[in-house]
Amino acid sequence: MEASDIKHPCQVSVGMPVWCVEKYIRRCLLSVLDQDFDDMEVLVVNDCTPDKSVDIVKEIAASHPKGIKVRVIHQPQNMGCWAARNKILEEARGKYILLIDSDDYFAEDAIPALYKEAERTNAEITYGSIAVVDEDGNPIPNSGVQGIQQKDFVLIGEDKLASYANDNIHVLKLHNFIWNSLIRADFIKKNHLRFRKTKFWDDVLFNADMQPLVQSAAFLSKVTYNYVIRDDSLSNYQARDVINITEIRQHLSNQSYLKEQSISLKGKPYFETRVTKMMMNTFYTIIGIIRNWAKLSEDISSGEIRQAIKHPLGVMDIMRFRKFRGTNLLFWLIGIMPATMSFATIQAIGKIKKLT
């Protein structure tokens, strides 16, 4: 029996991790239940939240006409978003899995639009467009988040999605968030996809593992998701007085994984662009650290910075590049310099480009 012929208890499993979102969870959950789509389940993973978020979920489930579709899953202890999302992948019974962050919310008719397109194209993953808003729902222009697809289109074939995502080192054509993406459950199961253990960027790492495997993807120009930028977000350094050094080291560790993961894509048509993007992302992460140096809970050594910028390839491999050879050679050189010189060079480049 083909995977597409398997009968599922429901068509869409909507999953949301919940931790300290009592201010936002009502809007989020109602945006799911109020959709004009009945053939779904809603998996709410309680990551041992200390606030009233789960009480609000239970109250809505008891009073809403579709409340019976809500299933609350309790983690044994606070484990983080990566573990909550893995629990959703394990518990989901739908043909498709759709994740949402519990401080964001769906646009009207989002789920039926994504589902209809997924069924029409038989795509392994279907992307909607994103509206970036503040906590009150007001649009945030020039947010830096890639959100709007210019048209509806479909990519079919090996490496088509990954090539599309990696055809430009300066323009982010495909977001790295995992929410607002309707994914076939059989695709996830076949490829043994899981979220990696990390406090930050579990969705970015998941996408890095997933994108090279996708052979069919559909895109909708319709806005299906409202991405809320919060003042107290962990990613919003500007609004914070102190940045914990363990957070910085986690970001650098994630960048290291992304660089090393790129090596496995050698021979792919997008390989050189992907490697270059990862190196540039690492560079900009370090620039962000330097820019916020006074906010760090403790200093980070120049040796750690040099290790972070170290190129995953050898010089002979880089010399075979047809594109971006000079950029990668520069990063390779910075990575073999003495630590203090490496750090000073990154600082100098940041100043020249007016990034610090």
Instruction: Specify the 3-state DSSP secondary structure of 63.
Output: helix
* CB 84, CB 92: distance < 8 Å: no
* pLDDT of 340: 96
109: Cα within 13 Å, side-chain hemisphere: 6
Q: Quote the tokens at residue 69.
A: 């579709």
**How do residues 56-69 score in pLDDT, each as one tens digit?**
999 999 999 999 99
Integer CA distances (angstroms), 37 to 90, 116, 121, in order = 23, 11, 19
DSSP letter assigned to residue 277: H
* pLDDT of 230: 80
143 band by pLDDT with thresholds 50, 70 and 90: confident
Q: Quote the tokens at residue 4.
A: 């597409």
C-alpha 194, offset from chain centre: 13
**How do residues 104-142 score in pLDDT, each as one tens digit?**
999 999 999 999 999 999 999 999 999 999 999 998 887
pLDDT at 276 over 80: yes
Q: Return the amino acid letter for 251.
A: H
* CB 242, CB 248: distance < 8 Å: no
Q: Is 133 left (phi over 0), alpha (psi -120 to 50) or beta?
A: beta
Report d(CA 290, CA 203) in Å as an integer: 25
Question: Partners of 306 in the beta sheet?
Answer: none
**How do residues 198-241 score in pLDDT, each as one tens digit?**
998 999 999 999 999 999 999 999 999 999 998 655 455 556 68
Residue 16: φ, ψ to 5° = -140, 120
C-alpha 225, offset from chain centre: 14
* pLDDT of 78: 96
* pLDDT of 173: 85
C-alpha 89, offset from chain centre: 16
* CB 305, CB 346: distance < 8 Å: yes
Report d(CA 219, CA 152) in Å as an integer: 5
Report d(CA 236, CA 245) in Å as an integer: 15
Report d(CA 247, CA 128) in Å as an integer: 30
* pLDDT of 355: 85
